[in-house]
Amino acid sequence: MSMLRITGGAIHDPANGVDGEIRDLCIRDGRIVAELPSDAPTFNAAGRVIMPGGVDIHSHVASASCNHGRRLLPHEHAADPMPAPVFADGSVGRSGTGGTLPSTFTTGYRYAGLGYTTVMDAAVAPLLARHSHHEFDDTPCIDGGFYTLMGNDEFLMRQIDAGEPAKARDYMAWLLGATGAYAVKVVNPGGIEAWKTGQRNIHDIDEALQGRKSTPRAILSALADAANALRIPHGIHIHCNNLGIPGNVATTLASMEALDGRRAHFTHLQFHCYGGGEGKPWSSAAREVIARINAHPEHTVDVGQVMFGPATLVTADGPVEYLLWKSSGRKWTNVDIELESGCGVIPYMYRDTAAVAALQWAVGLELFLLSEDPWRVVLSTDHPNGGSFASYPKLIQLLMDKSVRDAQLAVCNQKLLAGSALLDGLSREYTLNEIAIITRAGPARVLGLTHKGHLGVGADADVTIYDRNADIAAMFTSPVAVLKAGEIIVEEGHLRIAPRGARLHVRPNHDAAVLPAVRQHFADYATIRFENFAVRGLKTPPVVPP
Ligand SMILES: [Zn+2]
């Protein structure tokens, strides 16, 4: 039986209404408890800040797509070697490499080093789910899960074409269980399949795929209804059509309107908030979009902030990667995933001297600073698309310290910033409690993870302890201690142990009557047998909807 009493720290636990209260935190057997015997071991946190472990709602860390990216980045591996850590008991961990797509072990070590203990991979093709489970098995220190791609799924679209919503729902339930996924991801609904089959991309949510009834609107609607009927803990996770294109705000607002009144999560919103196009210059449309989100409590978002520096674009959105390759001439890979999706990767660099990158940086900050509900507008950089997760401390600093933000704004390319709220001057500075919401409590709530993101009795004892520091980036870069399931895994910058985390996945009930048709679909079109498709042997039981 393990016990620990953390004494004297200021606790930031917004899910339980606690904002900097100084009191003891008691941990027994990996969970938060109300009391401990007086002789329990203690950890002195006097003068320090205590938060739940960080929860990353949208990252790319454990997928075949990440592996394609790693292959494209040998120069990053050479520039950022990660020596094998020596643990507290003298045993030696695994070495690896860093850069924008770190190796599996390095990913776990570095997330833990920042105080993050739960990470969701945002895009895994069902066919490649097994690969993702193996990568998560090799990524220590964090609990992890992934969202499985369904926005361009051939079997799903056939159910939409045939007007069979019940079959679509049962297929979703079966697919989530068969792949060991946590939620459903929608990327450029219909557009990837259209592009792969010669129709180019889809730019309007009411444009049908050639020869069928499926439109982006129909796909979004079918998937949202199915996920909500199945009570999946996290609503469908949507990457809208027209990512990164000037004028895409119209598509973004139309997609949101299409799901009015229905639970849904719109991801990396920054990439979908641009005005301009058709001869007019790019501009920020953040104000319009965040006003809509503020008014719709059924919708949640993560920001997908762009941070200046190196990045790697990793997405299922093949047509977007193709356009970027054409405009940038950088090295590029694009992959077809049969019957399901696509995948593209391009190494990238955001420079503050570049007009579009500066606009993207400003749009993300506008979304954060104009958000009226931090519980529904949570932090992400869409790692490594908008920047590495390693840049989170700098992003937190931009939100908490206007002087740092203004200094960066002053040296940015101003060409496309006219009319942006940031240029007009936004004086808001996030509080420590608001940071605790957008990095832990909020993502956990949006994900329906009732044991994460808070420090109430019964919660997982994932805890991060920071030293106060006027330099906010320094404070959030080096926690004094990080606890995972009640064990101190990082202390004073050293990795003490690197335990294997749990897998977060769901297994909704479904009517097995749908399966003969799925089996026939595999027999007719897939290169894998139906019998060999499902992932087996996950060690953690499925998460039950709250
Ligand atoms: Zn993403």
Expressed in angstroms and rounded, the spacing between residue 512 Cα and the centre of ligand 1 is: 32
Expressed in angstroms and rounded, the spacing between residue 22 Cα and the centre of ligand 1 is: 37
Which value, in Å, is the radius of gyration of the alpha carbons in the chain? 22
Expressed in angstroms and rounded, the spacing between residue 176 Cα and the centre of ligand 1 is: 19
Q: What percent of the chain has pLDDT over 90?
A: 97
Expressed in angstroms and rounded, the spacing between residue 511 Cα and the centre of ligand 1 is: 31
| Consecutive H or E run containing 175 | helix 165-179
Per-residue tokens: 500: 């294997």
Amino acid at 52: P
Q: What are phi and psi of 27, to 5 degrees?
A: -130, 130
Q: What is the mean pLDDT of residues 329-347?
A: 94
3-state secondary structure of 116: strand
Bridging pattern class, strands 377-378 and 42-44:
unpaired
**Does the structure show a pLDDT above 90 at 347?**
yes
From 94, 101, 106, 111, select the one nearest 76 (Cα to Cα): 101
Expressed in angstroms and rounded, the spacing between residue 44 Cα and the centre of ligand 1 is: 38
Expressed in angstroms and rounded, the spacing between residue 84 Cα and the centre of ligand 1 is: 29
Cα gap 248→238, rounded to integer Å: 15
Q: What is the mean pLDDT of residues 425-448?
A: 97
For position 1, what pLDDT does the model report?
Answer: 67
Which residue matches tokens 């159910």?
159
Confidence of residue 239 (pLDDT cuts 50, 70, 90): very high
Expressed in angstroms and rounded, the spacing between residue 110 Cα and the centre of ligand 1 is: 19
Q: Tens digits of per-residue pLDDT, 500-539?
A: 999 999 999 999 999 999 999 999 999 999 999 999 999 8
User: CA torsion, points 43, 46, 47, 50, in degrees to nearest 10?
Assistant: 40
Confidence of residue 546 (pLDDT cuts 50, 70, 90): low
Angle, alpha carbons 327-398-426 (nearest 5°):
95
For position 234, what pLDDT does the model report?
Answer: 98
Q: How far is CA 465 from the centre of its chain?
A: 23
DSSP per residue, 465-505: EE---SSHHHHHHS-SEEEETTEEEEETTEE-------EE-
From 115, 133, 150, select the one nearest 61 (Cα to Cα): 133
Q: What is the mean pLDDT of residues 83-94?
A: 97
Expressed in angstroms and rounded, the spacing between residue 534 Cα and the centre of ligand 1 is: 24
Confidence of residue 210 (pLDDT cuts 50, 70, 90): very high
Expressed in angstroms and rounded, the spacing between residue 319 Cα and the centre of ligand 1 is: 15
Amino acid at 249: V
Q: What is the mean pLDDT of residues 273-277?
A: 97
Quick one: the chain helix, strand, coil %, rounded to 5? 35, 25, 40
Expressed in angstroms and rounded, the spacing between residue 542 Cα and the centre of ligand 1 is: 24
Expressed in angstroms and rounded, the spacing between residue 515 Cα and the centre of ligand 1 is: 30
User: CA torsion, points 376, 340, 349, 80, in degrees to nearest 10?
Assistant: 100
Amino acid at 392: Y
Expressed in angstroms and rounded, the spacing between residue 146 Cα and the centre of ligand 1 is: 11
Q: What are phi and psi of 515, to 5 degrees?
A: -65, -35
Expressed in angstroms and rounded, the spacing between residue 370 Cα and the centre of ligand 1 is: 23
Expressed in angstroms and rounded, the spacing between residue 428 Cα and the centre of ligand 1 is: 27
**Does the structure show a pLDDT above 90 at 200?**
no
Expressed in angstroms and rounded, the spacing between residue 341 Cα and the centre of ligand 1 is: 14
Q: What is the mean pLDDT of residues 144-173?
A: 98
**Does the structure show a pLDDT above 70 at 328?**
yes
For position 102, what pLDDT does the model report?
Answer: 98
Q: What percent of the chain has pLDDT over 70?
A: 100
Expressed in angstroms and rounded, the spacing between residue 456 Cα and the centre of ligand 1 is: 31
Q: What is the mean pLDDT of residues 26-43?
A: 98
Q: What is the mean pLDDT of residues 11-21?
A: 98
Is omega for the bond preceding 443 within 30 degrees of 0, making it cis? no
Expressed in angstroms and rounded, the spacing between residue 485 Cα and the centre of ligand 1 is: 27
**Does the structure show a pLDDT above 90 at 424?**
no
Expressed in angstroms and rounded, the spacing between residue 69 Cα and the centre of ligand 1 is: 13
Expressed in angstroms and rounded, the spacing between residue 201 Cα and the centre of ligand 1 is: 19
Expressed in angstroms and rounded, the spacing between residue 446 Cα and the centre of ligand 1 is: 16
Bridging pattern class, strands 299-302 and 31-33:
unpaired
- Mean pLDDT (the chain, rounded): 97
Expressed in angstroms and rounded, the spacing between residue 59 Cα and the centre of ligand 1 is: 6
3-state secondary structure of 77: helix
- Say if residues 197 and 323 touch (Cβ distance below 8 Å): no
Cα gap 482→478, rounded to integer Å: 10
Expressed in angstroms and rounded, the spacing between residue 187 Cα and the centre of ligand 1 is: 9
Between 6-15, 179-188, 377-386, 417-426, the lowest mean confidence (pLDDT) is in 417-426
Expressed in angstroms and rounded, the spacing between residue 386 Cα and the centre of ligand 1 is: 9
Q: CA distances (Å), 4 to each of 117, 487, 501, in order?
A: 18, 9, 20
Amino acid at 355: A
Expressed in angstroms and rounded, the spacing between residue 494 Cα and the centre of ligand 1 is: 30
From 515, 506, 512, select the one nearest 544 (Cα to Cα): 506
3-state secondary structure of 275: strand
Expressed in angstroms and rounded, the spacing between residue 381 Cα and the centre of ligand 1 is: 8
Q: CA distances (Å), 539 to each of 137, 325, 479, 508, 535, in order?
A: 10, 40, 30, 17, 12
Per-residue tokens: 89: 């008991």
**Does the structure show a pLDDT above 80 at 216?**
yes
- Of the CA atoms within 13 Å of residue 319, those in its CB half-sphere come to 23
| Consecutive H or E run containing 258 | helix 249-258
Per-residue tokens: 371: 């958000």
Confidence of residue 115 (pLDDT cuts 50, 70, 90): very high
Expressed in angstroms and rounded, the spacing between residue 118 Cα and the centre of ligand 1 is: 16
Expressed in angstroms and rounded, the spacing between residue 317 Cα and the centre of ligand 1 is: 10
Between 97-111, 180-194, 413-427, the lowest mean confidence (pLDDT) is in 413-427
Q: CA distances (Å), 528 to each of 257, 427, 477, in order?
A: 38, 56, 44
Expressed in angstroms and rounded, the spacing between residue 95 Cα and the centre of ligand 1 is: 26
Expressed in angstroms and rounded, the spacing between residue 427 Cα and the centre of ligand 1 is: 29
Cα gap 416→362, rounded to integer Å: 10
- Say if residues 241 and 189 touch (Cβ distance below 8 Å): yes
Q: Which residues pair with 26 in a beta bridge?
A: 5, 33
Between 9-18, 419-428, 454-463, the lowest mean confidence (pLDDT) is in 419-428
For position 473, what pLDDT does the model report?
Answer: 98
**Does the structure show a pLDDT above 80 at 545?**
no
